Amino acid sequence: MKLVLDTNVVIDWLVFDHPFLSAFRERVRYGQVTVFTHQPAVDELRRVLGYRELKLDAARQAQVLGQYQSQTSCVPPKEHVPRAPLELPKRFPRCRDPDDDHFLALAYHVRADALVSRDNAVLKLARRARRFGFQIMTVPQMVAAIS
Protein backbone atom coordinates (compact mmCIF):
# COMPACT_ATOMS: atom_id res chain seq x y z
CA MET A 1 0.00 0.00 0.00
CA LYS A 2 1.30 3.45 -0.93
CA LEU A 3 0.47 6.25 1.50
CA VAL A 4 1.07 9.94 2.05
CA LEU A 5 0.74 11.15 5.66
CA ASP A 6 0.04 14.68 6.76
CA THR A 7 2.26 16.14 9.46
CA ASN A 8 -0.15 15.47 12.34
CA VAL A 9 -0.22 11.78 11.47
CA VAL A 10 3.59 11.71 11.29
CA ILE A 11 3.73 13.28 14.77
CA ASP A 12 1.39 10.56 16.10
CA TRP A 13 3.55 7.91 14.45
CA LEU A 14 7.05 9.06 15.35
CA VAL A 15 6.76 11.46 18.30
CA PHE A 16 3.87 10.15 20.38
CA ASP A 17 4.36 6.51 19.33
CA HIS A 18 0.62 5.87 19.68
CA PRO A 19 -0.18 2.18 20.25
CA PHE A 20 -3.08 2.24 17.76
CA LEU A 21 -0.43 2.68 15.05
CA SER A 22 1.45 -0.52 15.92
CA ALA A 23 0.08 -2.43 12.88
CA PHE A 24 1.04 0.52 10.68
CA ARG A 25 4.58 0.59 12.11
CA GLU A 26 4.94 -3.13 11.45
CA ARG A 27 3.71 -2.82 7.85
CA VAL A 28 6.19 0.02 7.20
CA ARG A 29 9.03 -1.94 8.80
CA TYR A 30 8.38 -4.98 6.59
CA GLY A 31 7.82 -3.02 3.40
CA GLN A 32 4.10 -3.77 3.12
CA VAL A 33 3.34 -0.05 3.36
CA THR A 34 5.40 2.62 1.62
CA VAL A 35 5.12 6.16 2.92
CA PHE A 36 5.96 8.84 0.37
CA THR A 37 7.22 12.30 1.16
CA HIS A 38 8.81 15.23 -0.61
CA GLN A 39 10.79 18.29 0.39
CA PRO A 40 7.79 20.50 1.32
CA ALA A 41 6.57 17.80 3.73
CA VAL A 42 10.05 17.36 5.22
CA ASP A 43 10.37 21.14 5.65
CA GLU A 44 6.95 21.33 7.32
CA LEU A 45 7.80 18.46 9.67
CA ARG A 46 11.10 20.12 10.60
CA ARG A 47 9.23 23.35 11.42
CA VAL A 48 6.50 21.58 13.44
CA LEU A 49 9.02 19.56 15.45
CA GLY A 50 10.34 22.88 16.74
CA TYR A 51 6.96 23.96 18.14
CA ARG A 52 7.19 24.75 21.83
CA GLU A 53 4.05 22.67 22.56
CA LEU A 54 5.84 19.46 21.55
CA LYS A 55 8.65 20.11 24.05
CA LEU A 56 11.28 18.38 21.90
CA ASP A 57 14.91 19.32 22.34
CA ALA A 58 17.16 19.65 19.29
CA ALA A 59 18.50 16.10 19.63
CA ARG A 60 14.99 14.57 19.73
CA GLN A 61 13.89 16.73 16.79
CA ALA A 62 16.86 15.49 14.76
CA GLN A 63 16.14 11.89 15.78
CA VAL A 64 12.48 12.10 14.67
CA LEU A 65 13.42 13.80 11.41
CA GLY A 66 16.04 11.10 10.77
CA GLN A 67 13.49 8.35 11.49
CA TYR A 68 11.05 9.97 9.10
CA GLN A 69 13.59 10.27 6.32
CA SER A 70 14.83 6.71 6.78
CA GLN A 71 11.32 5.20 6.78
CA THR A 72 9.86 7.13 3.85
CA SER A 73 10.48 7.32 0.12
CA CYS A 74 11.28 10.88 -0.88
CA VAL A 75 10.05 12.02 -4.28
CA PRO A 76 12.76 14.13 -5.87
CA PRO A 77 11.88 17.61 -7.10
CA LYS A 78 11.69 18.35 -10.78
CA GLU A 79 15.23 18.23 -12.13
CA HIS A 80 15.01 21.50 -14.01
CA VAL A 81 13.47 23.37 -11.03
CA PRO A 82 14.93 21.85 -7.84
CA ARG A 83 12.51 23.41 -5.32
CA ALA A 84 9.42 23.49 -7.55
CA PRO A 85 6.29 22.14 -5.90
CA LEU A 86 4.29 19.35 -7.47
CA GLU A 87 1.24 20.73 -9.18
CA LEU A 88 -2.35 19.57 -8.98
CA PRO A 89 -4.26 18.94 -12.22
CA LYS A 90 -7.01 21.27 -13.35
CA ARG A 91 -10.32 20.79 -11.55
CA PHE A 92 -8.58 18.93 -8.72
CA PRO A 93 -10.17 19.93 -5.41
CA ARG A 94 -8.08 22.42 -3.48
CA CYS A 95 -7.89 22.54 0.28
CA ARG A 96 -9.26 25.51 2.18
CA ASP A 97 -5.75 25.81 3.66
CA PRO A 98 -3.38 26.11 0.69
CA ASP A 99 -0.51 24.89 2.91
CA ASP A 100 -2.06 21.41 2.68
CA ASP A 101 -2.25 21.30 -1.12
CA HIS A 102 1.27 19.89 -1.33
CA PHE A 103 0.08 16.70 0.42
CA LEU A 104 -2.72 16.35 -2.13
CA ALA A 105 -0.29 16.94 -4.99
CA LEU A 106 2.15 14.39 -3.62
CA ALA A 107 -0.55 11.75 -3.23
CA TYR A 108 -1.76 12.43 -6.76
CA HIS A 109 1.70 12.32 -8.37
CA VAL A 110 2.91 9.12 -6.63
CA ARG A 111 -0.46 7.47 -7.31
CA ALA A 112 -0.87 6.81 -3.61
CA ASP A 113 -3.62 4.56 -2.41
CA ALA A 114 -4.46 7.18 0.18
CA LEU A 115 -3.60 10.45 1.83
CA VAL A 116 -4.02 9.94 5.58
CA SER A 117 -4.98 13.05 7.50
CA ARG A 118 -6.39 14.36 10.75
CA ASP A 119 -7.20 17.73 9.20
CA ASN A 120 -10.94 18.27 8.73
CA ALA A 121 -10.39 20.62 5.77
CA VAL A 122 -8.45 17.86 3.98
CA LEU A 123 -10.89 15.12 4.99
CA LYS A 124 -13.77 17.11 3.48
CA LEU A 125 -12.17 16.60 0.05
CA ALA A 126 -12.35 12.78 0.27
CA ARG A 127 -15.30 12.22 -2.05
CA ARG A 128 -14.00 14.58 -4.75
CA ALA A 129 -10.43 13.20 -4.56
CA ARG A 130 -11.64 9.67 -5.39
CA ARG A 131 -12.34 10.82 -8.93
CA PHE A 132 -8.60 11.43 -9.28
CA GLY A 133 -7.58 7.94 -8.21
CA PHE A 134 -6.85 8.05 -4.51
CA GLN A 135 -8.61 8.16 -1.19
CA ILE A 136 -8.33 10.60 1.66
CA MET A 137 -8.81 8.75 4.91
CA THR A 138 -8.65 9.17 8.65
CA VAL A 139 -6.11 7.33 10.78
CA PRO A 140 -8.70 4.76 11.96
CA GLN A 141 -9.70 4.11 8.32
CA MET A 142 -6.04 3.60 7.39
CA VAL A 143 -5.48 1.23 10.32
CA ALA A 144 -8.54 -0.78 9.28
CA ALA A 145 -7.37 -0.87 5.66
CA ILE A 146 -3.94 -2.29 6.51
CA SER A 147 -5.07 -4.73 9.18
- 2-146 — its CATH code? 3.40.50.1010
Q: Predicted confidence band at 108 (pLDDT cuts at 50, 70, 90)?
A: confident
Helix (H) or strand (E) run with residue 46 in it: helix 39-49
Q: Mean pLDDT throughout 136-142?
A: 96
DSSP class per residue in 66-78: HHHHHSSEEEPPP
Q: Predicted confidence band at 81 (pLDDT cuts at 50, 70, 90)?
A: very low
**Local structure of 45: helix, strand or coil:** helix
The better pLDDT of the pair 30, 82 is held by 30
Q: Mean pLDDT throughout 98-127?
A: 88
